[in-house]
Amino acid sequence: MTFIARHRRLLTLACSAILRHRTRHVSILLVYTALVFLFASVVFCVEALKREARLLLQGAPEIVVQRLVAGRHEPIPAELVEPLRRIPGVQRAAGRLWGYHFDEERRANFTLIASEDPRLAPRAVAVGRGVARLLGAEAGGRISLRGRGGEEVSFAVAEVFPSASELVAADLIEMPQEDLRAFLGIPEGLYTDITLRVANENERRVVASKVRGLVPDGRVILREEIARTYEELFDWRGGVLLAVFASLAASFLLLAWSQAAGLEGEEKREIGLLKAVGWELSDVLALKTWEAITVSLTAFLLGTALAYLHVFAAGAFLFASLMKGWSVLYPRFALDPALDLPHVTLIVSVAVVPFLLASVIPSWRAAATEPDRLLRQA
């Protein structure tokens, strides 16, 4: 009998054994599928969020320079823009004007930024979808914000940003620079920070060290540092969920081990009969291995498919607030699939290998026993 034909028959016998003990195997399969679903959902969600962060940061400036006073972020003088622009390797240096506004009535933070669109008229704003939903605003309408002195400042809504930009613009309000300076109380000659464009990746840290020499009271933030912070944040949040998963998985494997170790009388009788008719230890182990592989692969396929739908079709609703964070002005966005071979391999190794060991080792101990003793125990 060829190798393939032998294992095809063993697989057929394994499926028959699973059907004979369907109650036990179905209960194990359901719990196992749920565990694979949780684990795969966390892996898919973490990697998709990392991918979103990397894509968003592609358009961010390579270096951001901020001024610190007593450890706090303060406006930076505009006169520093030109010296920073003259640093070798810097393609462009520009001041950025932005800030935050807390709406006490709605308990929400808005991000205010100076618009570079010359078509935006004075006392007109462009708002994100989240702001529009919260304030009930629409293009052609008006919104009111409480100014620094407590007075209501009214703005005409010239535009509501499209839904495609909601991930970055949900809480955003753009207005002309003069209006923003008046609203935030930032005088001429000061910016919130200064951005630098450095095309050569190998020069960025050299440029950053020169910036620190020109701005001794400044903080220099590199784009790769922001990306690394996001990745560590998502890894940490995913780790919290995986810690819960690990405890559940350990309990399940302990249960699977105890059930496999205390083989039912009928299963012991089956092993004893197989050995009595001439089956070798390797044949019995191959049969039990195929049983475990069938159950674990079925759980892997079902759990992974459900996790894919949960994360990429249903928005990971079970733990989205933990993974994505929470805010009054929370953006509505769908995660794009971000799967690769290492992550699928990781899920397979976690889904198949532990259960395989927990099932086969006790069966090996039983198969190593003399057949007459197994039949007496049965």
Domain range annotation of the chain: 7-57+228-377, 63-223
Residue with token string 């440029």:
207
Residues pairing with 156 in the sheet = 124, 142
pLDDT at 183: 94
Distance CA 276, CA 356 (A): 25
Predicted TM-score of the model (pTM):
0.75
pLDDT at 211: 95
Per-residue pLDDT 10s for the chain (378 aa) are 577 777 788 788 778 877 877 787 788 888 889 888 988 998 898 888 888 888 878 888 999 999 999 889 999 999 999 999 999 999 999 999 999 999 888 888 999 999 988 889 999 999 998 899 999 989 999 999 998 888 899 999 999 998 766 667 888 999 999 999 999 999 999 999 999 999 898 999 999 999 999 999 999 999 999 888 888 877 777 777 777 677 667 666 666 655 555 455 556 666 666 666 667 767 777 888 888 889 889 999 999 999 999 999 888 888 777 776 655 555 666 777 877 788 888 888 877 787 777 777 766 665 555 555 655 554
pLDDT at 168: 74
pLDDT at 144: 92
For residue 157, give the amino acid letter: V
CA 287 to chain centroid: 39
For residue 65, give the amino acid letter: V
Report the CATH architecture of 63-223: Beta Barrel (2.40)
CA 71 to chain centroid: 31
Distance CA 327, CA 108 (A): 8
Distance CA 42, CA 235 (A): 10
